[in-house]
Amino acid sequence: MRTQALVSAMQAQGRSVVCLTKPGFPWDRGHADAGRQDRVGEIVYHRTGEATDRPARLPADYLAAEAKVFAALSPLRPRWVMAASNYTTAIPALFAARRLGLPFVYEVRGFWELSRASREPGYMDSLDYRAARDLDGAVAAQADLVFTLNSAMRDDLIGRGVDPGRIALLPNAADTEVLRPAPRDAALSRRLGLPAEVPATRFDFIDPDRRIILVTGHRRESFGGGFERICQALRQIAERFPDTDIVYPMHMNPNVREPVGRLLGGFDNIHLIEPLDYLPFVWLMSRAHLILTDSGGIQEEAPSLSKPVLVMRDTTERPEAVDAGTVRLVGTDTEAIVRNVTQLLEDQAEYDRMSFAHNPYGDGQAVTRILDVLAAYKDRT
């Protein structure tokens, strides 16, 4: 969504922007027959290839990806090349940019190896960990500009050899024109073309007089035992609070759908629904009393709606939200999830403390700041 907002802002300034995407592994393979483009709003994302049966690991994988990026960029001669996420997308973009003699900008949005290390004992001592850390550091060190999200990540990048003068600290910011506190539900419903209270039959199970716990979960590290424990917690919550509804838009991954359907089906106050488009999901967030999630993006968006967020992970790339008090890490432990949800449902003072904590993502100006930094860089070169 950060990329979508950035591209929209660039286009509004009259700039021509070309977006390339790397096919995901492996869950979008079924969409290969949909063509080589994806359209989100008015923005077209061009796929650089088809998804494969394994993630990129070998040098040949990166060279093949670079060749596709180079072929796409060569006729265009862009002013700069920008990559986001981690080294798997950045390496091909960096190589192509250098072959074309173009500036390269890298948006570092997290250190995946640290997340993996938090859930795999011994991983930090492995060659895979050192390779991932070194590759991300090497790409960032070669970039002309590096954008990152918080001061801890900035310090980590400096420790990996990145010139501090090339790093711009640009935290994520929720889009305040889309994300509004609950009193704006009616306005958002009108924007969606839906009734003010219950949006058509998609949400006909919603009772405006009942509290809603919104749940999302999809992360690979929770497959198996993690999702079993999450579902056991939700069963206990549903039984303990029959006056509260639990709404769970289920991810398409069968590793999620199987335990969720098996353990949570049959409860009158648990509603398992299909995945939602973005704006209907925002509407549902605005109606929720609290949110249980393992999503990074929701950790940033929910505070703008004054919703407490319990994160079903042991670590987060958004420590600023934890520090601010809007987000709390509960992991996938059944007892911890039940205890924290119970506290927020029964202790109004604690609920208010999390709901009205300082929102670290509230000004919505991240895209404007990125454009300002890019403009300043252009003026220097």
Q: Do residue 166 and residue 289 come from a single domain? A: no
**pLDDT higher than 50, residue 281:** yes
3-class DSSP state of 82: strand
Residue 188 lies inside a defined structural domain of this protein: no
Q: Do residue 300 and residue 374 come from a single domain? A: no
**Rounded mean pLDDT of the chain?**
82
Burial per residue of 201-220, b for 16 or more beta-carbon CB atoms within 10 angstroms, e otherwise: eebeebeeeeebbbbbbbbe
pLDDT band at 366 (very low <50, low <70, confident <90, very high): confident
What confidence score (pLDDT) does residue 150 get?
78
**pLDDT higher than 60, residue 65:** yes
Q: Do residue 22 and residue 95 come from a single domain? A: yes
What tens digit of pLDDT does each residue of 214-270 get? Answer: 999 988 778 889 999 999 999 999 999 999 999 999 988 888 999 999 999 999 999
Residue 190 lies inside a defined structural domain of this protein: no
Q: What is the CATH number of the domain that holds 284?
A: 3.40.50.2000
Residue 187 lies inside a defined structural domain of this protein: no
Residue 192 lies inside a defined structural domain of this protein: no
Q: Do residue 172 and residue 251 come from a single domain? A: no
**pLDDT higher than 60, residue 340:** yes
Say how many domains are in the chain: 2
**pLDDT higher than 90, residue 348:** yes
What confidence score (pLDDT) does residue 187 get?
56
Q: Do residue 249 and residue 347 come from a single domain? A: yes
Residue 110, token pair as written in the block = 């997290």
Q: Do residue 262 and residue 351 come from a single domain? A: yes
pLDDT band at 1 (very low <50, low <70, confident <90, very high): low
Q: Do residue 323 and residue 369 come from a single domain? A: no
What confidence score (pLDDT) does residue 210 get?
94
Instruction: Give CA–CA dist 350/368, Å, rounded.
Output: 35
Q: Do residue 168 and residue 224 come from a single domain? A: no
**pLDDT higher than 50, residue 170:** yes
What tens digit of pLDDT does each residue of 82-106 get? Answer: 998 888 889 999 999 999 999 999 9
Q: Do residue 269 and residue 286 come from a single domain? A: yes
3-class DSSP state of 219: coil
What tens digit of pLDDT does each residue of 171-215 get? Answer: 765 554 554 444 445 555 555 445 444 444 467 788 888 999 999
For residue 330, give Cα distances in angstroms to 203, 237, 245, 302, 343.
28, 15, 20, 16, 13
Longest dimension (CA), the chain: 63
Question: At residue 329, what are phi and psi to the nearest 5 degrees?
Answer: -80, 125
3-state secondary structure 93-110: HHHHHHHCCCCEEEEECC
**pLDDT higher than 90, residue 380:** no
Q: Do residue 104 and residue 226 come from a single domain? A: no
Planar angle of CA 103, 106, 111, nearest 5 degrees: 160
Strands 211-215 and 290-293: parallel
Instruction: Give CA–CA dist 201/216, Å, rounded.
Output: 21
What tens digit of pLDDT does each residue of 288-339 get? Answer: 999 999 987 888 788 888 899 999 988 777 777 888 898 999 999 999 999 9
What tens digit of pLDDT does each residue of 17-50 get? Answer: 988 887 654 444 454 445 566 776 678 888 776 5
Residue 41 lies inside a defined structural domain of this protein: yes
**pLDDT higher than 90, residue 282:** no
What confidence score (pLDDT) does residue 176 get?
47
Q: What is the dihedral of CA 88, 152, 306, 269, to 10 degrees?
A: 50
On whether the CB atoms of residues 345 and 244 are closer than 8 A, the answer is yes
Residue 65 lies inside a defined structural domain of this protein: yes
**pLDDT higher than 70, residue 57:** no
What tens digit of pLDDT does each residue of 112-128 get? Answer: 787 777 667 788 889 88
Q: Do residue 262 and residue 155 come from a single domain? A: no
Instruction: Give CA–CA dist 66/183, Å, rounded.
Output: 48
Containing H/E element for 44? strand 43-47
What tens digit of pLDDT does each residue of 350-363 get? Answer: 999 999 877 776 56
Residue 226 lies inside a defined structural domain of this protein: yes
For residue 203, give Cα distances in angstroms to 5, 36, 211, 226, 247.
28, 33, 14, 28, 10
Distant-in-sequence, close-in-space partners of 133: CB < 8 Å, separation ≥ 6: 111, 113, 160
Q: Do residue 291 and residue 375 come from a single domain? A: no
Residue 184 lies inside a defined structural domain of this protein: no
Q: What domain range is 64 assigned to?
A: 1-176+363-379
Sequence-distant contacts of 255-259: CB under 8 A, at least 24 apart: 255/220, 255/223, 255/224, 255/227, 256/217, 256/218, 256/223, 256/227, 259/227, 259/228, 259/231
